[in-house]
Amino acid sequence: MSNFYVVATPIGNMEDITLRAIRILKEVDLILCEDTRTTKNLLDKYEIKKPTMSFHSQSKLSKTDKIFEFLEEGKNLALVSDAGTPTISDPGAMLIAKIKEKFGDEVQVIPIPGATALIAALSASGLPTHEFTFLGFLPHKKGRETLFKEIVKSERTMVFYESPHRILKTLESLNKFCPEKKVCIARELTKIYEEFKTDSSSKLLEFFIQNPIKQKGEFTVLVNGK
Residues 27 and 104 both lie in one domain: yes
Q: The domain containing residue 202 runs over which residues?
A: 117-223
CA distances from 203 to 75, 85, 172, 196 (A): 54, 32, 11, 14
Residues 219 and 124 both lie in one domain: yes
- Angle of helix 201-210 relative to helix 167-177, nearest 10 degrees, comes to 150
Q: Which of 89, 112, 135 is the C-terminal boundary of a domain?
A: 112
Average pLDDT over residues 186-194: 96
Strand pairing class (219-223; 157-162): antiparallel
Residues 131 and 108 both lie in one domain: no
pLDDT of 25 reads: 98
pLDDT for residue 148 is more than 80: yes
Average pLDDT over residues 104-121: 96
The amino acid occupying position 123 is: S
- The three-state secondary structure class of 114 is coil
Range with the largest mean pLDDT of 41-45, 146-150, 175-179: 41-45
pLDDT in tens, 51-107: 999 998 777 777 899 999 999 999 999 999 999 999 887 778 899 999 999 999 999
pLDDT in tens, 126-137: 999 999 999 999
Residues 25 and 102 both lie in one domain: yes
Average pLDDT over residues 113-118: 95
Name which residue leads in pLDDT, 110 or 140. 110
Say which CATH number the domain at 121 has: 3.30.950.10
Q: Which of 72, 87, 112 is the C-terminal boundary of a domain?
A: 112
pLDDT of 5 reads: 98
How far is residue 63's CA from residue 50's CA, in Å, rounded to a whole number? 18
Give the ranges where the chain is alpha helix by DSSP (H).
Answer: 19-27, 36-45, 61-72, 92-103, 117-125, 144-153, 167-177, 201-210
Strand pairing class (52-54; 157-162): unpaired
